[in-house]
Amino acid sequence: VRGFIGLFFFLWLLFLQVTFHFRTTLCDDDRTVIDDSKVVGTPMEIVIGNMFKLDIWETLLSSMRTGEVAEFWCDIIHTGVYPLVSKSMRRIADGKDPVDWHIHTCGMANMFAYHSLGYDDLDELMKEPKPLYFVMELLKVQQPSEYNRESWALSDEERLKAVPVLHGQGNKLYKQGRYQEATQKYKEAIICIKNVQTKEKAWDVPWLKLEKMANTLTLNYCQCLLRMEEYYEVIEHTSDIINQHPGAVKAFYLRGKAHMEVWNEAEARQDFSRVLDLNPGMKKAVKKELAVLSMRMEEKNQEDRDKYKGMF
């Protein structure tokens, strides 16, 4: 009976969202603080049973009551992965993605080359795992019906249903000129697709269908980035698509516009030429872009001539 009650309690806890503050310290004389969510100013949220990377936290929080503050000592068998979790939390606190939603070879190469998480204290802890103290304050517990689940907390079926909704929301925000908000909708939709796509065999029909959906959203994302003057990021993302799918007309077009904005005249002309090769029907649009490019390059060249006139 006791085992049945324990199992029932565990199942009841599954997919509850818990909101809490935490402080992580070393087990040294000074109790050196590694992370403190109160200093950052934002509490942590996780969903019980959703395979949070630091699973010991689910166990600790499941033993607490709302409003309770408790301190736990955890051995290295439970803390070895903490540096990776801490890195993600710090990136979120800095307003960055916890992980790159679009993985690039150069980033992976840097990771292997330097073996660094980007934070000296976490690098040291990764190199030599140590027991840690966790001070937890449980602020709130919510049922699944009481919170909006993030994309990572959805089932594959729910993720695919969310994609067109997020896509539509992104398009609406784009038309309203709210480009930053639109990028978040597109990005969340892409994450949903990529999570499902990892379970398909690469280049099979289901995988290709998901890839096409993801590319469409990525190009919409790039249109927002152009409006936000993030030209080099546009070049990076469109180049990734072109490398995998060399017939992607819109990718060449957007990359051409980005090259034009950063004075890469030869690259811009080459991309616009490729657009015409793939889709002659875009002749009018390309002609307009090339006219703007020629005018801007002439203005820049004149500025350079005036700037250096008296130097020789």
Tens-place pLDDT, residues 71-90: 999 999 999 889 988 987 88
The answer on pLDDT for 146 being more than 90 is no
Strand partners, 15: none
244 close to 251: Cβ distance less than 8 angstroms: no
Q: What is the pLDDT of residues 6-38, one digit of tens each?
A: 433 343 445 678 899 999 999 999 999 999 999
How far is it, in rounded angstroms, from Cα 297 to Cα 300? Answer: 5
Closest CA to 24 of 10, 7, 48, 40: 40
State the DSSP string of 245-262: -TT-HHHHHHHHHHHHHT
Sign of CA dihedral 177, 183, 188, 192: positive
Q: Is 230 exposed, middle or buried (0-12, 13-18, 19+ CB in 10 A)?
A: middle
Q: pLDDT at residue 92 above 80?
A: no
Band (pLDDT 50/70/90 cuts) for residue 312 is low
pLDDT at 98 over 50: no
Phi, psi (rounded to 5 degrees) for 8:
-60, -45
Domains recognised in the chain with CATH numbers: 18-142 (3.10.50.40), 156-305 (1.25.40.10)
Question: Does the pLDDT at position 249 exceed 50?
Answer: yes
CB 185 within 8 A of CB 170: yes
Of 304 and 211, the one with more pLDDT: 211
| For residue 110, pLDDT beyond 70 | no
Q: Hey, what's the torsion of the CAs at 273, 275, 280, 285, to 10 degrees? A: -90
- The rounded distance, in Å, linking the Cα atoms of 24 and 60 is 14
pTM (whole model) above 0.85: no
For the segment 130-148, the average pLDDT, to the nearest whole number, is 84
> What residues are paired with 135 via a beta bridge?
23, 71
CA–CA separation, 37 vs 45, rounded Å? Answer: 11
Mean per-residue pLDDT, 34-49: 87
Q: Where are the alpha helices (DSSP H) in the chain?
A: 2-13, 37-40, 55-62, 76-79, 82-93, 105-114, 120-127, 156-175, 179-197, 205-227, 231-244, 249-261, 265-278, 283-308
CB atoms within 10 A of CB 173: 19
Q: CA-to-CA distance for 29 and 283, rounded, in angstroms?
A: 72
Mean pLDDT of 223-248: 93
Task: Evaluate whether 188 touches 204 at the Cβ level (below 8 Å).
Answer: no
* CA pair distance 39, 120, nearest whole angstrom: 19
Question: What band does 212 get if pLDDT is binned at 50, 70 and 90?
Answer: very high
| 177 vs 116 pLDDT, higher one | 177
